[in-house]
Amino acid sequence: MRVQSLTNMSFVFPNQIFVESYMLAEYMSRVQEVALRVLELMAEGLGMEDTNVFSRMVQRDGRDVLLRVNHYPLAMRHQAAAGGAVGFGEHTDPQIISVLRSNSASGLQIALRDGSWVPVEPDPASFVNVGDSMQVLTNGRYRSVRHRVVAGAGAGERARLSMIYFGAPAPAPSERIAPVPELIGDGEASRYRSFTWREYKAAAYRSRLADRRLDGIQLDAQGSPDPDDEP
């Protein structure tokens, strides 16, 4: 865990938010417990025999766990009183799972299938996002959710602060991520070609935030690369 290596340090975030690193490390370990439990429940929900399939992936040595802190200052809210300013552009999270906690200031929105945006009720409790890797692992049964933050949407004169735990698959560098065989139904083909987390992460850094990266690894119904896909 990246944060745990930073012992006895303090961080001052914009707006003078002061956090001791041991608090971050403690938070990381607690939020990881939540993520693992949710992953087990997700496997259970799919009727999987081994309900630890996903949770194991974010616990292994070499896992790629990250905590991001986002701050959307009040100035951003004032910037665009009408529609609100985009504080974090639309995207899907590339990892398996993200667990988000905020200070209850509004702004987070998710996209429905028809492309319309709906606000997520601000709530100090955690909000869980399915990431691209989970969509692949489950052969599309769980879908990664497009989301964005529009600072200034909704009432309230508060800056938004969010903390997101990202659990990535990060198996051994050469291990490939692909739909779990148990989740490929009878007569169904794998909908995605396999990839390593390293490849996918590199592609995510190369591409634009809003790009639909899963399109590039999607296969057609027979399991062949979709001709409309990006190379």
Q: Site residues (CB under 5 A) for Fe ion?
A: 93
- Does residue 213 interact with ligand AKG by CB under 6 A? no
User: Binding residue for ligand AKG (CB under 6 A) from 88, 165, 195, 200?
Assistant: 88
> Which among ligand AKG, Fe ion, none contacts residue 57 (Cβ within 5 to 8 A by kind)?
none
Asked whether the beta carbons of 54 and 30 are under 8 A apart, the reply is: no
> Which among ligand AKG, Fe ion, none contacts residue 77 (Cβ within 5 to 8 A by kind)?
none
User: Binding residue for ligand AKG (CB under 6 A) from 24, 65, 108, 150?
Assistant: 108
The C-alpha R_g of the chain, in whole angstroms, comes to: 19
**CB atoms < 10 A from the CB of 100, how many?**
20
Largest alpha-carbon pair distance within the chain? 57
Q: Which two tokens stand for residue 200?
A: 């996918």
Q: How many CA atoms lie within 13 A of 130 on its CB side?
A: 17
- Does residue 95 interact with ligand AKG by CB under 6 A? no
User: Binding residue for ligand AKG (CB under 6 A) from 68, 172, 188, 224?
Assistant: 68
**CB atoms < 10 A from the CB of 118, how many?**
9
- Does residue 2 interact with ligand AKG by CB under 6 A? no
- Does residue 93 interact with ligand AKG by CB under 6 A? yes
For residues 34 and 115, what is the distance between their CA atoms, to the nearest angstrom?
30
> Which among ligand AKG, Fe ion, none contacts residue 142 (Cβ within 5 to 8 A by kind)?
none
**CB atoms < 10 A from the CB of 13, how many?**
12
- Does residue 70 interact with ligand AKG by CB under 6 A? yes
Question: Using CB under 6 A as the criterion, what x/- string covers residues 143-162 for binding ligand AKG?
Answer: ----x-x------------x
**Listed ranges 6-14, 52-60, 100-108, 208-216: which one lies at the site for ligand AKG (CB under 6 A):** 100-108
Q: Which two tokens stand for residue 186?
A: 């009878």
> Which among Fe ion, ligand AKG, none contacts residue 100 (Cβ within 5 to 8 A by kind)?
ligand AKG
Q: Strand pairing partners for 117? A: 111
Report DSSP letters for 42-95, one per residue. HHHHTT-S-TTHHHHHTTSTT-EEEEEEEEE-HHHHHHTTTT-EEEEEEE--SS
- Does residue 102 interact with ligand AKG by CB under 6 A? yes
Closest approach, Cβ 21 to Fe ion, in A, equals 23
Binding site for ligand AKG (CB under 6 A): 68, 70, 88, 93, 100, 102, 108, 147, 149, 162, 164
